[in-house]
Structure 1
Amino acid sequence: MATDVADETPVEKVSKRAVVAILITIFGSTAAAMMPALIALPIIMARIAPDNKETALGIATGISAFGGMILGPLFGALSDRTTSRFGMRRPGMVIGGLLAMLGLVLLGLADSLPAVFAALVVLAVGQALYGASHAAMTPDTIPEHARGRVVGFASMMGVLAALLAGIVGPQFIDNQFVLAAGGVPLYLLGLVVGMALYRDRRLDPAQVPPQSLLRTVVGGYRFNPKSAPDFSWVWISRFFITLGIAFTGVFTIYLLTDHLKVSPQELPSLISINSVLGMASGLVGTVVGSFVTDKVRSRKRLVLVAALMLAAGSAIIAFAPSVPVFFVGSALLTFANGFLIPTDGVLVMGVLPGGDGANAKYMSFFTIADGLPRSLGPMIAPAVMTLGGMTALGGYPVLYLAGGIVAIAGGLLVRRVRGVR
């Protein structure tokens, strides 16, 4: 009888309010941020700095990623010590979200490179503060047995947000303000509704050891890789895979116009088609990844599979003789990325050190694994293309092949993790 009772012990319930709050907030913030990243920045740079657009875009993209990388761990540590009566995560998300919206508005009004870079700094600070608190919502409130599905659904929200940006953005290709700030109302709506639904953790001030602000700042960046080797190897793997994605994802518009000779008249419709294909393949990849992650359990192997698919998609684009073949490679890239997100996301949460009291800090460390390669990738890419231009393949094909090789390296490095499968 005792055995029957033990077998019937209920599994920890999943809070539907928490799931909806996570999904609504990720959709709103991603939709608002993706339009500038995918469409507005390349268009703005081509207008403001037509003779040096690749370098200008690389710097702009680097600013966005570098801000999250530098500030994420600090904001994560502050979030873990927040004792507000509104909760641990709400204050950072509200303040960060408002700053990010201000940055988007400033970007829409910018008419020079310094103004664009200043707007991106404000946006980066806001997104870093918002993201540090948001990243802790899943490990805070979702039990382990359901995290893969929640991460998968969150990824799907990101894909849908990117689709929205990819379809709506090209229709306003001549309106800089709408391209940059058109998603602000959606960002605000998602934030308001999400914060109203979310039952945030409240931290008792007595549980927070007294320490100076300087010590809190330093503590936000303190980590000994030897103390958590599995966490370190997952971090390194994420870095290399993201670097491969950064090589292949930033210069799509330029590849179409400069390498495949797409005319300005054809460009808006082709961007929309690519967005629809990317949405469909990304959603399928996310669903497959979420299902396989729950069944196979060996997330390390699945991460390697995703890296190999990323490399295959990059190779197809590198040797694409036409736009239809480019679409095939692009769809494979988005499928692989969708497949990777729930698999790698659950793997990350499985190796977090520090216990529940440091979720935001260590989840924010992975903003560095995302942000640093997204900063370095676009900055390194022009040099890679220059070297590629000296070969028979050409600059863009070599860039995409390099991205695939780097992604495979990341997939192989995750095999060094020992504590989880």
Structure 2
Amino acid sequence: MTHELQSLHKPHTETAILQMEQTGQKVGGLFVTRYIASLIGIWLALLTPLSVTIAIRVGQIDPAGKATSLALVASVGAAASLFANPIFGALSDRSTSRFGQRRPFILGGVSVGALAVIGVGFAPNIWLVAVMWAIAQTAFNAAIAATIAILPERVPSKLRGRVSGFMGMTTQVGVVGGVFMSQLLGTQGAAMFIAPAVVGVLLVLPFALTLREVPKTKNEVPRTSILTIFAAFWINPLKNRDFALAWIGRFFVWIALYLLTTYKTYFLIDHLGYNTSNVAPILTIAMFVLAVCIAASSIPGGWLSDKLNRRKPFVVTAALLFVVAMTIVAFSTTVEMFILGIAIAGLANGLYLGVDYALVAQVLPNVGSEAAKGMGVFNLSSTIPQTIAPIIAPMLLTIAATPGSGNYTSLYLCAAVLALIGAGFTQMLRSIH
């Protein structure tokens, strides 16, 4: 098994060393700091609307049909991200731009995405909100595909757990920052969309502008054709068994997470008695607690997984913690119980995300030539649940529900079961301890 793991790590390590030799750019503390800051910036601009402000905006435009309208907007945006991430990842792999393979997609993606998010803030109806949100998801996912590819390409194997741990907390740091801005600037105008978008771009610029890349020639990359688009969605699961199992396991875990995050605002409104004008402070507290707990478990978890050279035990522990968290949230009758459930969910989320990217980097096929495509296909395991969660949530809310209300207990108990299923698939990986 040791020999098998060494052979598995070798091409990934050689790729990182080759990139360092070609570019002359060392992957050290400053590089990682700028890299993590850029991810926080992307998530700040993208996840603030997804987690908070779009739900508020939809509630302002269509208060009576907010649940159905939110499902429409979230599903359209998720569908856009589903296509954008692998397609732009594959196009990034094939880029021969003199500015590099990754940098044009990072800069272009965050710029277009920020403008589209700002457009959501000015949209007067649900359909325009959906269109702007689809553009934003497409653009930001182009940036994400290029940025995430940096991990298997540039970061040595011995550092991936630690870097993955920091990456695991970036999403919630972005959300908390965005929620804080929304509370500070108010939730009645476009400012709740403008501020996160602008700050997000500013956080991305230092990394994107200092990233050194050696441009590829046309002879070094496969020819781009219409087949490139279709091939971007496919990695043979029979030839890459562990990659497929990692994908499926993450798929179930992320459905569970999206069931929590997408409908937490309406849980507070419909179940605990808040409304669109006073829910933001509670969301700020909840998201702050979530972020702190994610950081408390993801960074040490990633570091410890590097030291022990083990990933799977962390995933199982995270799933069990998530079951506890969802049970508490499901039966919450006070905001204090809700916050406690969120805190435990944060510990679970952080522990899982702390090894998530490090785990897939170990089983990623063709890392030297198709890192962005591979990470793009893997990211489908989180973007597809964005589409599925809003579709199945209304059905789960009707289980044993009283007329005119949703049963959030059934929703969150189902989320707990899905997380356990995901952990089970991860346990089936052969090449990873």
TM-score (norm 2): 0.90
Q: How far apart are the structure 2 equivalents of 1:356 and 1:68?
A: 25
Gaps of 5+ in 1: 1-10
Matching residue of 2:229: 217
Contact persistence 1:171–1:268 (CA under 8 A): no
Matching residue of 2:354: 342
Tell me which of 40, 43, 51 is aligned to 1:38.
Answer: 51
1:13-412 alignment runs, 5 A limit: 14-209=27-222, 211-262=223-274, 266-389=278-401, 395-412=407-424
Q: How far apart are the structure 2 equivalents of 1:103 and 1:379?
A: 24
Contact persistence 1:15–1:141 (CA under 8 A): no
Q: How far apart are the structure 2 equivalents of 1:197 and 1:154?
A: 19
Deviates more, 1:97-106 or 1:180-189: 180-189
In the TM superposition, residue 291 of structure 1 has moved relative to its aligned partner by 2.8
Q: How far apart are the structure 2 equivalents of 1:383 and 1:189?
A: 40
Deviations along 1:176-225, one digit per CA (max 9) or x if unpaired, are 3111222122122123221122122432332124x352132232223221
In the TM superposition, residue 386 of structure 1 has moved relative to its aligned partner by 1.2
Deviates more, 1:150-159 or 1:96-105: 150-159
Q: How far apart are the structure 1 equivalents of 2:80 and 2:313?
A: 32
Q: 1:108 to 1:363 in 2, by over 3 A?
A: same
Q: 1:227 to 1:246 in 2, by over 3 A?
A: same
Deviates more, 1:29-38 or 1:397-406: 29-38
Q: 1:98 to 1:264 in 2, by over 3 A?
A: closer
Contact persistence 2:323–2:419 (CA under 8 A): yes
In the TM superposition, residue 105 of structure 1 has moved relative to its aligned partner by 1.5
Gaps of 5+ in 2: 1-15, 18-25
Contact persistence 2:249–2:425 (CA under 8 A): yes
SS in 1 for 2:427: helix
Q: 1:284 to 1:356 in 2, by over 3 A?
A: same
Q: 1:406 to 1:385 in 2, by over 3 A?
A: same
Q: How far apart are the structure 2 equivalents of 1:372 and 1:349?
A: 20
Q: 1:126 to 1:152 in 2, by over 3 A?
A: same
Q: How far apart are the structure 1 equivalents of 2:274 and 2:30?
A: 46
In the TM superposition, residue 30 of structure 1 has moved relative to its aligned partner by 1.3
Q: How far apart are the structure 2 equivalents of 1:201 and 1:138?
A: 17
In the TM superposition, residue 266 of structure 1 has moved relative to its aligned partner by 4.6
Deviates more, 1:261-270 or 1:304-313: 261-270
What residue identity is the alignment partner of 1:322? T
RMSD: 2.0
Contact persistence 1:69–1:368 (CA under 8 A): yes
Number of residue-to-residue matches in the alignment: 409
SS in 2 for 1:207: coil
Q: How far apart are the structure 2 equivalents of 1:222 and 1:273?
A: 41
Matching residue of 1:3: none
SS in 2 for 1:387: coil
What residue identity is the alignment partner of 1:377? A
What residue identity is the alignment partner of 1:158? T
Q: How far apart are the structure 1 equivalents of 2:307 and 2:28?
A: 23
Deviates more, 1:152-161 or 1:112-121: 152-161
Deviates more, 1:170-179 or 1:111-120: 170-179
- How many percent of aligned residue pairs carry the same amino acid? 26
In the TM superposition, residue 358 of structure 1 has moved relative to its aligned partner by 0.8
Q: How far apart are the structure 2 equivalents of 1:26 and 1:130?
A: 9
Deviates more, 1:226-235 or 1:263-272: 263-272
Q: 1:185 to 1:355 in 2, by over 3 A?
A: closer
Contact persistence 1:94–1:130 (CA under 8 A): yes
Q: How far apart are the structure 1 equivalents of 2:230 and 2:398?
A: 40
Deviations along 1:92-128, one digit per CA (max 9) or x if unpaired, are 1111112101211110110101110110111011012
Deviations along 1:363-382, one digit per CA (max 9) or x if unpaired, are 00122100011111012101
Deviations along 1:31-85, one digit per CA (max 9) or x if unpaired, are 1222212221111111112121112112222222221212211111111111112
Q: How far apart are the structure 2 equivalents of 1:272 and 1:222?
A: 39
Q: How far apart are the structure 1 equivalents of 2:380 and 2:160?
A: 22
SS in 2 for 1:279: helix
What residue identity is the alignment partner of 2:325? G
Deviates more, 1:83-92 or 1:233-242: 83-92
Contact persistence 1:244–1:403 (CA under 8 A): yes
What residue identity is the alignment partner of 1:132? A
